[in-house]
Amino acid sequence: MARSGKVAVIGAGFYGSTTAQRLAEYDIFETVVLTDIIEGKPEGLALDMNQSRPVEGFETKIVGQTTGRSGEGYEAIAGSGIVVITAGLPRKPGMSRMDLIETNAKIVRQVSENVAAHAPGAVVIVVSNPLDEMTALAQLATGFPHQRVLGQAGMLDTARFTHFVAEELGVPITSVTTLTLGSHGDTMVPVPSACEVDGKPLAELLPAGKIEELVTRTRNGGAEVVALLKTGSAYYAPSAAAARMARAVAEDSGAILPVCAWVDGEYGISGVYLGVEAELGRTGVRRVVERDLTPDERAALGQAAEAVRAKQADVQTL
């Protein structure tokens, strides 16, 4: 594929900088723009990343740009087809994602307004936490159609689940398929009926109690990393997920990925951002893909929707 287009990553912290580097290493974009409000940080990181080009052999250029809260510097993202919003505080040990809501809502609202002003045609991928709520807020604040604003969580939760299953069974990671839907948090919905190892149902390979243990570890996957790091949260697996989503959009690939998308009637649920499988393309979410769920899985998804619906309504006032 020819190299083309511009992708912007807002927030040059751990999540944003690793995402920018991954996007650049794909070597499919003309430019990756990395911004932050800390003066010099995005420029310094971009310079460092550009110096990896001869070693890794990619042509994509990384542009760093300090931005001001009133939108100074946002001209740098003009013409971006995709914007990944990573700006916002990460958790500290013992904090829930929801403890970040007030602080990050202010940041995500301000960033989204500037994105709408400077990259009005972009597909927006949100990663700031609490994820489902910040995705809903970014759609409100940009005023973009729902299908052009989506969030990253399900790919990460699914990747964590897959990793734990592969470790438990001692099998190659590529032989394992798992799936989580629902919200990025307590109401994450694992989908055992979609979990297989080399085509064999997971339930035939592991006892129910062990699967439940791995599901619990997946649900707490972010907190486990936060507790070990003591400062900051996970970013290698999260950035891999966000970068893959951006790539699916850039390549108009039609990949079906678990993402946080606007649900409008699928699974009998409407009017909420929720973790579901969606087909991604140049326009963002082409469609939400409904799969056959067991009655228990369907009920859990319905409960997750109601839990996030209440919180998403709250963000309108933040």
Ligand X SMILES: NC(=O)c1ccc[n+]([C@@H]2O[C@H](COP(=O)([O-])OP(=O)(O)OC[C@H]3O[C@@H](n4cnc5c(N)ncnc54)[C@H](O)[C@@H]3O)[C@@H](O)[C@H]2O)c1
Torsion of CA 10, 102, 228, 186, to 10 degrees: -110
d(CA 292, CA 27): 37
Least distance between ligand X and beta carbon 209 (Å)? 27
Does residue number 194 form part of the binding site for ligand X (CB under 6 A)? no
The minimum distance between CB 107 and ligand X, in angstroms, equals: 4
Q: How far is the CB of 63 from ligand X (least distance, A)?
A: 15
Distance separating alpha carbons of residues 226 and 228, to the nearest angstrom:
5
Q: Binding of ligand X at residue 183 (CB under 6 A)?
A: no
Judged by CB under 6 A, which of 16, 73, 190, 221 binds ligand X?
A: 16
Please, are residues 127 and 235 in contact by the beta-carbon 8 Å criterion? no
Among 36, 132, 133, 297, binds ligand X (CB under 6 A): 36
Of all residues in this chain, which one has the CB nearest to ligand X in the complex?
A: 13
Nearer to ligand X, 174 or 231 (CB): 231
Q: How far is the CB of 1 from ligand X (least distance, A)?
A: 27
Determine if 152 is a binding residue for ligand X (CB under 6 A): yes
Interface with ligand X, residue 104, by CB under 6 A: yes
Query: Positive or negative, the Cα torsion across 101, 106, 110, 116?
Result: positive
38 is a site residue for ligand X (CB under 6 A): yes
- Cα torsion 286, 290, 291, 296: sign: positive
Write the burial class of residue 151 (CB in 10 Å: 0-12 exposed, 13-18 middle, 19+ buried): buried
Q: Are 247 and 194 in contact (CB under 8 A)?
A: no
Is the backbone peptide bond immediately before 201 cis, with ω within 30 degrees of 0? no
Q: Which is nearer to ligand X, 169 or 223 (CB)?
A: 223
Buried b (16+ CB within 10 A) or exposed e, 89-127: bbbeeeeebeebbeebbebbbbbbbbbbebbeebbbbbb
Nearer to ligand X, 81 or 238 (CB): 238
Instruction: Looking at residues 64 to 93 of the shown chain, list those that interact with ligand X (rule: CB under 6 A).
Output: 67, 86-91
Query: Is position 184 annotated as part of the catalytic site?
Result: yes
Binding ligand X by CB under 6 A: which of 131, 189, 215, 272? 131
- Does position 227 interact with ligand X (CB under 6 A)? The reply is no
Q: Which residues bind ligand X (CB under 6 A)?
A: 10-16, 35-38, 67, 86-91, 100, 104, 107, 110-111, 127-129, 131, 152-153, 156, 184, 232-235, 238
Catalytic residues: 184
